[in-house]
Structure 1
Amino acid sequence: MSILVAISDFIKRRLIQPMLNLLRQGMTPRSLAATVATGTVVGIIPAIGITTFLGTAIAARFRLNIAATVLVSYLVQPLQLVLAIPFIRLGISMFGLGELRLTLAEMQVMFKTDWLDALNNLWLANLAGIAAWAMLAIPSGFILYFVLVPILKQVLPKPKLIVTPVSDISATDVSPTL
């Protein structure tokens, strides 16, 4: 039972608490939706190792929360592994690279016969997968953004307005400028 408690504590410390801290920073529903959509789309690119750089660059360019964008991209990285082969297969079919094989047995034969040619073919297949991802990234990012905005408007706390009574403003606070 202590293993479950340790896992629960880890999830609370490493996932839930950082997300709650980001929500408490005063992000608007639109900026949080843009951050989550960007982090999600960047996090599933079928190229391992570039999500942090790409997420940081995009978040900086569009003035999103960089830490939240990178955090979301890390949280969706299991999807990156699951979706890599479908993106690569889609890219192969889109660009007519039907001669590329992706079964384990065929890749082993490719590496045994000519490993440089195998690396070249796999590199080409990965580039095709990245191209397929790139064509789907922007439309899916917009769809995710527009789905998240109304949800986050319901979930996030409403900003509190601070109203100053008129009697607290003195005549010296308002002076005409000449």
Structure 2
Amino acid sequence: MPDRTLILGGARSGKSIAAERLLAAEPDVLYVATGGDDSGNAEWAARVAKHRARRPASWGLAETIDLVPLLEASGPPLLIDCLTLWLSRTMDAVDVWSDLHRADEVEQQIAALVEAWSATPRRVVAVSNDVGSGIVPADPGTRLFRDLMGRLNTTISLSSDQALWTIAGRTIPLT
């Protein structure tokens, strides 16, 4: 079995369901939700509720973007959902939107994440959106996000034992 798996795809392509299937036989999984709670947003609450309802009751939950310590520690398999929200929240945390030159700080966090991913003693499955197949964004901040997302996906993929592409609920291996 691969130890590190990245599942890519577009929005609503079935990535999370594919990740959950990969770990379905595991009695103990730590589900790492990177999206935050977005308090007061009914649409977000409904999405979170659907994800929770699909997961086995035996799975644990960590709601965080602090992924490096989780990857460095021993423990049950991790399901990280998702790297796209991790990047967005990391960019928020360093306030890159008000000063694009802070992207270097984000790049450093990406490098630390990739290093921890490459050396993790745990089985880990991560979900991420492929955002580079669309049009070139009009504003510099969104272009930066797209570029960083592409770099993050590429480096995690190349450090993975397996990379999968999900579209319309179907998942195929990337070689």
Q: Which TM-score band applies after superposition, normalised by the shorter structure?
A: under 0.3
Higher strand share: 2
TM-score relative to the length of structure 2 = 0.26
TM-score relative to the length of structure 1 = 0.25
Q: Which has the higher contact order (CA 8 A, sep 6+)?
A: 2
